[in-house]
Structure 1
């Protein structure tokens, strides 16, 4: 199809719907060693509606029988709504991301869930922002900064990017271009080490109190967004707490699984009161599979399904990504999610299997 015949006016297109549409890969670009950006469009004439900083979960056909679910933040901006992109880093031993590097080519289609997530200035607005990232944790910051550049270029943003080496500083050239267009975008780059051939004259080492104060002297007055490996975010949190920062204005992106509540907490949620006996097991019926299983106290619908040999796709298992969304046909559950399901989906009867625990007999469409 030529570009001429493919053209559609915006008002002729429908927004992407993860229950009806697939993502079609249209480009794959190497950004840095072991880092690639994959660009997708809807497999139908559509556009993408999401918040800067949100994520999607991709179903990757790594094996014919058991696809792998992986959650990635969108590095693209909704101000350019005809495509979305994810920028991913292949870690040692990674399965899904390595498959994307080796097998995902333009023209291939993938099932996607989302977009979802609360890690966005839209959910946590501020007068001035401080973005702190390490490695591929820069992706939600790029999504937000690209949106600011397109729609609100006067926004005050201090953008700190950390990496192991200068070559690992993702989007550095683009950020420097955006800084020329955004008068209040201040950039700071920190690398742990470098070689003479890199010609690096910037800050070295890890982010600490001195570097933070140097790169963003007014950081205490800003709304902070932080994303990167858990040890990195833990270090940033400690820096801010020690500096007396108001942590109500601190936000981070994390896909850590949610811990199971204690038996006493389960009893309180079930309305049995503090000090009540341990909750009883409940029967979960999986109607499409034609199976029933007993769900012991504290176990989730997802864990029960796996024990019964019923497949429900899941990625983060922390109530974030929305991949394990299933229809609850009857019964009541205690669902403690982290933003991975919309209010209207809950009203329609959907639950997230990974963070839902039955309060009685439950029927699930799975």
Structure 2
């Protein structure tokens, strides 16, 4: 048995000490992973999914930018953030142009509440878009490093396959541990590169194909707010218990419960009454908010042509002339049609009084 009594204990890094950049790994266009160590040799102790706030000496003056930690505390000798520059980025642009090995930078944290450790479960569902993949990478690496088989359905959405961050690293982990089930969703394929995965916008139909047991899973979601709203609506529409849903915006991660924005989604209420006016037929119907426009039409002897009844085929598209509906579709209607007032009757629920051209 080896005697380790002579090995000195390592201190834990605190944000009183600057970080030193030790490597820069290009990930995708305008995207890189920066790895830091503590000059003192201190180790890093944090929770997977947390974030750091970096103090960046940008040309116009110091700015503070928050980045989720993409590395895992199971590998404590270094800490990494993966950043993606947008067209108007200031701090991130400075990092991509100036932060090289040997440069030291001040950081605050780690902080944040978005971690699976606070919500232990047998099964997890990670859903992300773009750079929202970073906390999912940290949590997945943590579970991979435990050495036991996890149960993770991992979904990431990107514009095209070439923009999926960490794709190769995640596929390597998945090849070593059967319990990491990866699914990529892209808007369009790369040129000259066949794509056999999911294509389009994430929706209920895809969710059912990717994770048939989604009702049994603890869900973590990260991405732009419109994306997370679409995920919430898909889950709510499928009867998911939202007490097991957790989210983090990559634009505004939260440090305390009081900082968390209130989720104020419109959710149809079975006890709430609504009125549907079928304007061309001269018929009005009093219904529940959980009834669809299609079911209200059928109950009153009106025919709206329909096919899938799941928001996919677009057969039941009708024009809404007044009022609001809660519509969760699965790709059967375009954003341009929605902007012009069209809805899919099979998956639109009336909120208050609604008038449709039927």
Q: TM-score, normalising length from structure 2?
A: 0.68
Aligned residue for 1:47?
43
1:103 aligns with 2:98: yes
1:56 aligns with 2:57: no
Aligned residue for 2:189?
194
Aligned residue for 1:300?
none
Indicate how the Cα distance of structure 1 residues 147 and 33 shifts in structure 2: closer, same or farther if over 3 A, else same.
same
Deviation, structure 1 residue 131: 0.4
Q: Deviations over 1:144-170 (max 9, x none)?
A: 111111114311000011100000111
4+ long deviations beyond 2 Å: 9-12, 335-339
Residue ranges of structure 2 left out of the alignment (5+ in a row):
1-5, 262-358
Indicate how the Cα distance of structure 1 residues 225 and 245 shifts in structure 2: closer, same or farther if over 3 A, else same.
same
Larger radius of gyration between Structure 1 and Structure 2? 2
Deviation, structure 1 residue 55: 0.4
Q: Deviations over 1:249-292 (max 9, x none)?
A: 00001267xxxxxxxxxxxxxxxxxxxxxxxxxxxxxxxxxxxx
Aligned residue for 2:202?
207
1:57–1:321: 8 Å Cα contact kept in structure 2?
no
Give distance in 1, aligned partners of 2:111 and 2:8: 24
Give distance in 1, aligned partners of 2:198 and 2:145: 29
Residue correspondence of structure 1 range 105-254 to structure 2 within 5 A: 105-254=100-249
1:28 aligns with 2:35: no
Please point out which of 7, 10, 13 is paired with 2:10. 13
Deviation, structure 1 residue 100: 0.3
Please point out which of 60, 72, 76 is paired with 1:77. 72
Residue ranges of structure 1 left out of the alignment (5+ in a row):
1-8, 257-315, 323-334, 340-366
Give distance in 1, aligned partners of 2:200 and 2:249: 24
The CA RMSD over aligned residues, in Å, is 2.0
1:43–1:109: 8 Å Cα contact kept in structure 2?
no
1:226–1:251: 8 Å Cα contact kept in structure 2?
yes
Deviation, structure 1 residue 80: 0.5
Q: TM-score, normalising length from structure 1?
A: 0.67
Deviation, structure 1 residue 242: 0.6
Counterpart secondary structure, 2:189: coil
Q: Deviations over 1:288-336 (max 9, x none)?
A: xxxxxxxxxxxxxxxxxxxxxxxxxxxx6x8x359xxxxxxxxxxxx94
Residue correspondence of structure 1 range 191-340 to structure 2 within 5 A: 191-254=186-249, 320-321=254-255, 336-338=258-260
Give distance in 2, aligned partners of 1:255 and 1:78: 20
1:114–1:321: 8 Å Cα contact kept in structure 2?
no
Give distance in 2, aligned partners of 1:61 and 1:199: 43
1:149–1:181: 8 Å Cα contact kept in structure 2?
no
Deviation, structure 1 residue 202: 1.0
2:158–2:185: 8 Å Cα contact kept in structure 1?
yes
Please point out which of 86, 89, 107 is paired with 2:84. 89
Give distance in 2, aligned partners of 1:72 and 1:58: 8
Residue-pair matches, total: 256
